[in-house]
Structures are given as structure tokens and as C-alpha cells.
Amino acid sequence: MLNLEKQNIGFVGLGIMGKPMSKNLIKAGYRLIVYDVNPKPVDELVGLGAERASSSREVAQKSDVIITMLPDGPDVEQAVLGPKGVLEGLGKGAIVIDMSSISPIVAKAVAAEVEKKGGEMLDAPVSGGEPGAVQGTLAIMVGGKEAVFDRCLPLLQAMGKSVTRVGGAGAGQVAKLANQIVVALNIEALPEAFVFAAKAWVDPEVLIQAIRGGLAGSTAMETKAPMIMDRNFKPGFRIRLHQKDLRNVLPTATEYNIPLPMTSLVQQIINALVNDGKGELDHSAIDLFIENLAKTEVRRKAERRT
């Protein structure tokens, strides 16, 4: 098990997810060395007790475990394998935990390079969005060696409520992409059902009460339906990031000859929303595409406009 008194934890990538995750590690008593291309979150974390690093390489030089939380595969490759990257400063036996959501193919390739340098790697993407990152209740899906997972489990539990090893290198990313398929299809189904109900003169709020206790009930509905009805699309998880995740799903599916017809359809809806300038909205704004087709808005009864 990791010893809080002896381990230095590096964190690269302090964005909407990485910053609150880092704060939870500090609260749990870990000594943190942090780096981001944006100095503002670095300054904030240094104010909470973290140590500043000038590059990903310096983070690795000073850390026993290095966590990366970055937007996509190319960013992970740059931060880990590129100039002044983690690999240049990685000590023998050090562990890299990539918590970004990237292609399983890229995850396996990066893991191979880390192992060549004498390190170990876990891919550990998360689900739960910004609220889960802030509250420390993320679901974390982990790929990598079981012994390495066991060593890092207390660290991961400081950031997540559910931590599950699902297989070897890349398996965590496969699980995350599967999660994103389910989430995307669930969110897309909500406005179809709500618009259908609203145009047939059934109050969506009453509809939720009627169906939430049956098979239609879901975390997606409990979380996203109020946002849709309140017209609150402030991002917890941005549309453009879900676009990225599904973009990583489809090449993997092609490699294994897996047909994903509904996932492909939702990706086209998301592409249309991004093209319409809505990529920075929460992914509950998939609702806007369906509403536009139906020429109606899903609002609470007192506010509804059709």
C-alpha cells in the first residue's frame, strides 16, 4: 500500500476535472507536485500546499506516482512521451496513472513506452463529471497490472467512490468508452421522451414521477432532466468532450468489426451541435437538437413555450 508519509504524488493537468481531484488528494494528506500549462490553477493549488513544477518532466523527477488528467490522446502523448515529458524524468519503478479519457489504442501504446523506461502504468479514466470530481465521488475504471492497481488503490479512493480494475492495459479506457455510449444514448433519449410528452400535453415533470421507478429510471434522468427543464446547460461535462469520447469509440469499434449504429447516430447529433456553436454547453444540451426538430421546448409547466 502507498504510504502517505513517504510518497510524492505528481499531477499534470489541472483543468475542470484535474483541479478538484488534486484538491481532494491534498485533503487526504498526499504531498502533491503539480503542473499545468495554465499557471492560474497551479497558483491556487500551491496556495493549498502543493509544490509547483515547471514541466511534466520535473513532476516526474520529484514524484513516485504521476497522475495525468488531460483532454485527449495527443495531449497525453505530448505530456508523457514528448519533450520535457514525464518519460524524461521517470524514475525506475515509478507509476504513471493516466486518468484522461482517450483511445484504448493510445493508452496501450503509452503504457508500453512507460514500461520500456522501467516504470508501471495504469489507465484510470473517470465518470461523474465536475460534481463527482469536486465531491470525490467519481467512478474510476482501471486497466493495468493487478499488483500495481492494489498499490494505488488508496490513492484512487481519495478521488472516487467506486474504483474497479476491469482488466489489463487499455481496459480502463474500453470501460470508459462503453460508459460514454450508455450515457450518450440515455441523454439523447430524454428529450425525445420529453418532447413527445410535452407535445401530447403531458407535463414532463409529471412524466418523470410516473416513470422514474420503472426501467426507464436512470441517473442520467435524475441528473439531466432538471437541467433541461430549467434551461440550465452550464457545463458539468461539455458536449465537445463527449464528441471526443465517441470519436475514440468508433475507431476502436472499427478495429474489432463492431457495429454501433445508435452510437454513430448520436455522434452525428453531437457534431451538429458543435458546428452550431454549442460545444461548450453541458451534454444535456443534446436536448436542443431534438427540440429544434420538434419546434418545441421542454420547460417546467409554468414556463413552457411551444
**Rounded CA separation 23/44 (Å):** 10
pLDDT at 301 over 80: no
**Rounded CA separation 167/144 (Å):** 6
Which pLDDT band holds residue 105 (cuts at 50, 70, 90)? very high
Grid cell in block for residue 143:
486497466
Which residue out of 23, 176, 224, 244 is catalytically annotated?
A: 176
Asked if residue 246 lies in contact with residue 226, where contact means CB atoms within 8 angstroms, the answer is: no
**Residue carrying C-alpha cell 422514474:** 212
Q: What is the CATH number of domain 175-303?
A: 1.10.1040.10
pLDDT tens per residue across span 224-252: 999 999 999 998 889 999 999 999 998 88
Domain ranges of the chain: 8-168, 175-303
Cα–Cα nearest to 221, from 199, 235, 204? 204
pLDDT at 305: 52
**Rounded CA separation 246/264 (Å):** 8
pLDDT at 23: 98
The CATH number, out of the four listed (3.40.50.720, 3.90.800.10, 3.40.1010.10, 3.40.190.10), of the domain defined by the range 8-168: 3.40.50.720
Cα(first)–Cα(last) distance of the chain, in Å?
58
To the query of whether residue 295 is one of the catalytic residues in this protein, the response is no
Distances (CA, A) of 3 to 8, 161, 182: 10, 20, 37
| DSSP of 102-125 | --HHHHHHHHHHHHHTT-EEEE--
Q: How far is CA 134 from the centre of its chain?
A: 13
pLDDT tens per residue across span 129-187: 888 999 999 999 999 999 999 999 999 999 999 999 999 999 999 999 999 999 999 99
pLDDT at 4 over 50: no
What is the rounded average pLDDT for all residues in the chain?
94
pLDDT tens per residue across span 178-227: 999 999 999 999 999 999 999 999 999 999 999 999 999 999 999 999 99
Asked if residue 249 lies in contact with residue 260, where contact means CB atoms within 8 angstroms, the answer is: yes
**Rounded CA separation 82/74 (Å):** 10
